[in-house]
Amino acid sequence: MEEYFASTPSKLKTNDYSSITLVLGNESCDLDSAVSAIVYAVFLHWQHNTFKGKVCTASKRTDDCKEDIFVPILDVNREDFPLKTEVVFALAGHEIYDKDLVFSNDIDMTKLMSEGKAKVTLVDHHTLASKYNHLAPYVTEIIDHRPLDRTYWTYNEDVRSTIELVGSCCTLVAQRIRDLSALVGLNGEFFTLYPDMTDLLYSCIVLDTVNFSKEVNKATQHDVEIVNFLEDLLNIDQREEQRKAKVDRLLEARRNVSQLTAAQLLRKDLKIFEDILVPSFPVLVKEFLSKPDSLEAVTEALSSRKCSLGLLLGMDLRGGHQRDCAVISPDDKLAKAFAIFLQEWSSPSFELVSELGVNHYYFKQMNLSAFRKQYVPAITEFLYYYKE
């Protein structure tokens, strides 16, 4: 693992490769996205060198002989990586730091594609952000756990896709690695050789499912099977205790936002759907709105990103599960229409209970199993019907 992280960014920077595969996570760069990208890129590197062999043997190697490289791309600016507190914490636990990683503003993806030596694997999303629409012809594989949306599906017919509704994308990444390894009789070998990658997958799944919480209701049987498989490989005995301890540590790291300004907290876990800004907070929206200049920060974010609406999503898992949300816009008519639309949405119902908000529409969310991904179909339909 050390060799991979020491050499890959350097080879990318010096153009020392024959071809390159970018493993691109989603724009929120949460732990699931970051770990999926990193682990799958490391696996592709191992697979290339193990299954296919090196193009040049040591005895015949020349200066002209270059290798394929596989690069995880964390879709966040390098300067914003410290905002991803649980990602920084989890990776540091395995001695992976920002110097070992490649961020979206480190490279010119348009230039890479134009050179004809690049292809792209998408993890933890299957709809490209508008800034990446030009990457669609180069996408060769997709691994995602969201409901399939073909609205913007412009990929080549031979793209390989693994799309399944599970609690964590890391479940599907682990399954894909397991399946590809089994094809050549190397069952479990990658997981054994790279225990840090195995532990990151394990940690992410138990976090995303909140340790298989019935209240959250996010885990599937597939998540359970993969976690049991990983625990066997990691030789974990006290499984319930270990799961709880991991989740507690990661949740504490995620909530460690006391030093962040309102503007930074907005960027911590942010997605944009056309012109709707959708940040997700590790604290309740009510707590975010109590920060100095929070509404001003939202207004600035909407303006700078050319968005007309903001949907703020919050949660708090301390001492019981709570969720809330708020709709904010400089156009009150638009904000009111979107707020009503979300209240009436039934697939699934968010069970929104209105409370008084100043310059915004604020709700307690009683459906505790509705995450941001459950809001996406509602956002998409609102954009299609209302804004037309």
User: Among all chains, which residue has been given the structure tokens 């050499």?
Assistant: 7
Written as one string, the DSSP assignment of 340-357 is: HHHHH--TT---EEEE--
- Average the pLDDT over each of 9-13, 69-73, 104-108, 305-309 and give the range with the smallest value: 9-13
pLDDT, the chain, mean? 92
Predicted TM-score of the model (pTM): 0.86
Q: Where are the domains of the chain?
A: 2-251, 262-385
Instruction: Specify whether the CB–CB gap between 56 and 62 falls below 8 A.
Output: yes
Q: What is the DSSP string of 41-73?
A: HHHHHHHIIIII--SS-GGG--TT----EEEEE
Same fold for the pair 2-251 and 262-385? no
Domain 262-385 falls in which CATH fold?
Diaminopimelate Epimerase; Chain A, domain 1 (3.10.310)
CATH number, domain 2-251: 3.90.1640.10
Q: Note the pLDDT of residue 65.
A: 57
DSSP 143-193: EE-SPP--TT----TT-EEEE---S-HHHHHHHHHHHHHHHTT-TTHHHHH
Ranges of beta strands (E only) in 206-346 are: 270-273, 276-281, 309-316, 322-328
- Evaluate whether 25 touches 33 at the Cβ level (below 8 Å): yes
pLDDT tens, residue by residue, 8-54: 999 999 999 999 999 999 999 999 999 999 999 999 999 999 876 54
Q: Mean pLDDT over residues 243-267, rounded?
A: 93
Residue 215 pLDDT > 90, yes or no?
A: no
